[in-house]
């Protein structure tokens, strides 16, 4: 099977000529025009055959400009809004391509609310999409995990949880600095620089603590918690490094599987427990590893990535992997555990990629597009 990117089936050639005396404004205009044409071609030239049964079909593409934060039109519900965020911009839009608003500043954001961090360190502002007013809160370095709002505390050796009313629900202190964090619906877990995993319940109580050990230098470099809170996967140690999976056993957690790795990472490493509560994805030197929580599956997707995210389409039994390497990014479609169905390269300006069901939303700072994966 040979795959082609969405834009490749209709070739587009752009020849730019002229002498060194051409004006700077003309060169800039030509460059902007070329970029616009390329992005349009990426998403609206034709469909992309990924396999005999699956295609990526473009639905819409829009330009997005900064707008005022105003109340939503009468009859519109925030339930349908999707959050958008890059390093320099945040906002909300509807699945049909209408924009609620876009603001030129970074924010911690979810589909329900967002937080504008203070620039002077005095606090933050918790807001709800469609409502101009907000609540000042003392959340420093806020972030969302599993749709819950957290913030870092104690110089990186603790974190706090906040409710949707802007009140601090609880705070938790660790014995040393955190090197990794992940959370599910019922459990938040921190990994420390001295190699411990410590879990915290939704009401702020200590759930467990565990030191994987087995390496000359102990440190937790990667951490993933399932949405159910029943499974925890971690990349731990240096010399040798290993993958460790913990499963809930009664009121505590125990090791269900582990393996030593060929890697020797010294930086944070992505680890994800998939929503099926069966498979773990983790970064490897030769691609992305696929490991089952019971250790019976040990596969690798031949996809080199510095970082990645994954979305499972349970109805079709498919998974969509967003792999990033430097400024390059791509979407890889596979069937669990590691049957590669196809891959689509994305424009270098794709700072935002998100899946909802079988729909992919891809965008940069000034544009946003949607395409759907369809069968048949």
Q: What does the pLDDT look like over 144-158, one tens digit per residue?
A: 999 999 999 888 999
Domain 179-301 belongs in CATH node 2.130.10.10: yes
The CA distance from 192 to 277, in Å, is 24
Class in CATH terms, 305-376: mainly beta
Q: Contact, 60 vs 325, CB < 8 A? A: no
Ranges of residues in the chain whose predicted pLDDT is under 70: 1-52, 71, 74-75, 120-122, 376
Predicted local distance difference test score (pLDDT) of residue 13 = 27
| H or E element in which residue 178 lies | strand 178-183
- The residue ranges of every structural domain in the chain are 3-47, 60-173, 179-301, 305-376
Cα distances (Å, whole numbers) of residue 261 to 229, 235, 265: 25, 9, 10
Residue 115's nearest CA partner among 95, 99, 138 is 138
């Amino acid at each position: 099977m040979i795959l082609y990117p969405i834009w490749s089936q209709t070739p587009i050639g752009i020849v730019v000529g002229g002498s060194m005396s051409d004006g700077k404004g003309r060169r800039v205009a030509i460059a902007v025009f070329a970029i616009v044409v390329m992005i349009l071609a990426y998403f609206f030239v034709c469909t992309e055959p990924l396999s005999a049964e699956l295609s990526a079909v473009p639905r819409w593409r829009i330009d997005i400009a900064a707008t005022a934060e105003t109340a939503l039109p009468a009859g519109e519900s925030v339930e349908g809004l999707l959050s958008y965020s890059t390093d320099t911009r945040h906002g909300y839009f509807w699945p049909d391509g209408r924009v609620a608003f876009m603001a030129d500043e970074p924010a911690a954001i979810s589909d329900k609310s967002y937080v504008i961090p203070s620039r002077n360190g005095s606090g933050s502002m918790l807001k709800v999409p469609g409502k101009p007013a907000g609540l000042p809160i003392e959340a420093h370095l806020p972030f969302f995990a599993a749709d819950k709002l957290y913030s870092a505390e104690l110089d990186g050796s603790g974190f706090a949880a906040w409710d949707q009313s802007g009140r601090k629900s609880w705070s938790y202190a660790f014995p040393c600095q955190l090197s990794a964090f992940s959370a599910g619906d019922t459990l938040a877990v921190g990994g420390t620089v001295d190699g411990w995993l410590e879990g915290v319940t939704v009401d702020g109580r200590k759930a467990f603590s565990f030191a994987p050990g087995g390496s000359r230098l102990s440190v937790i470099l990667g951490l993933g918690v399932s949405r159910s809170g029943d499974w925890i996967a971690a990349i731990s140690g240096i010399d040798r490094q290993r993958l460790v999976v913990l499963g809930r056993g009664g009121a505590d957690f125990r090791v269900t599987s582990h393996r030593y790795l060929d890697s020797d990472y010294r930086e944070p490493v992505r680890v994800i427990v998939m929503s099926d509560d069966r498979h773990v994805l983790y970064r490897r030197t030769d691609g992305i590893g696929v490991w089952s929580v019971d250790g019976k599956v040990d596969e690798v997707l031949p996809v080199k990535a510095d970082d990645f995210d994954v979305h499972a389409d349970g109805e079709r039994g498919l998974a969509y992997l967003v792999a990033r390497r430097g400024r390059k990014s791509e979407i890889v479609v596979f069937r669990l555990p590691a049957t590669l169905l196809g891959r689509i390269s994305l424009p270098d300006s794709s700072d935002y990629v998100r899946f909802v069901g079988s729909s992919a939303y891809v965008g940069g700072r000034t544009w946003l597009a949607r395409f759907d994966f369809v069968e048949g």
